Amino acid sequence: MEQVLSDLRYAAKNVGEDHLRVVEDPRAAAAKVPPCMATGAILTPEIPGRAELTLITHRLRTRGWKLHGALDVELTMLSSGKWDIMLGAGPVPEEIAAQAGDSKGGFGISVTGVCKKPS
């Protein structure tokens, strides 16, 4: 998980406000498995589009991530080893608008890996 988050921080650098917030899924901790799921956001001053998505995706690909399917602003998927990242761009949802400050948009991020207890 740490390498995945490091790759995301690298990919998000200088995109929008340079804010990357990721929260590990508490279900993994409750199941006593290593961190294997996380959600987060890269907040941007304006609603991001294809140019910003292309930059983030390019940076992840330089770190060994493989793009699955077409580059799509609504949902882009990448994988590396046992990890998958889903990215989607759009306006800041009403539910987090108060926490987003002046940000008008961003990328939603979902990270999943293999969730199994160590033997």
pLDDT band for 17, please (50, 70, 90 cuts): low
At residue 117, what are phi and psi to the nearest 5 degrees? -70, 140
Per domain, the residue ranges of the chain are 2-112
Average pLDDT of 90-98? 87
Distance CA 71, CA 48 (A): 14
Report pLDDT digits (tens) over 18-55.
666 765 666 656 666 567 888 888 888 889 999 999 99
Burial class (CB in 10 A: 0-12, 13-18, 19+), 107: buried
pTM of this structure? 0.83
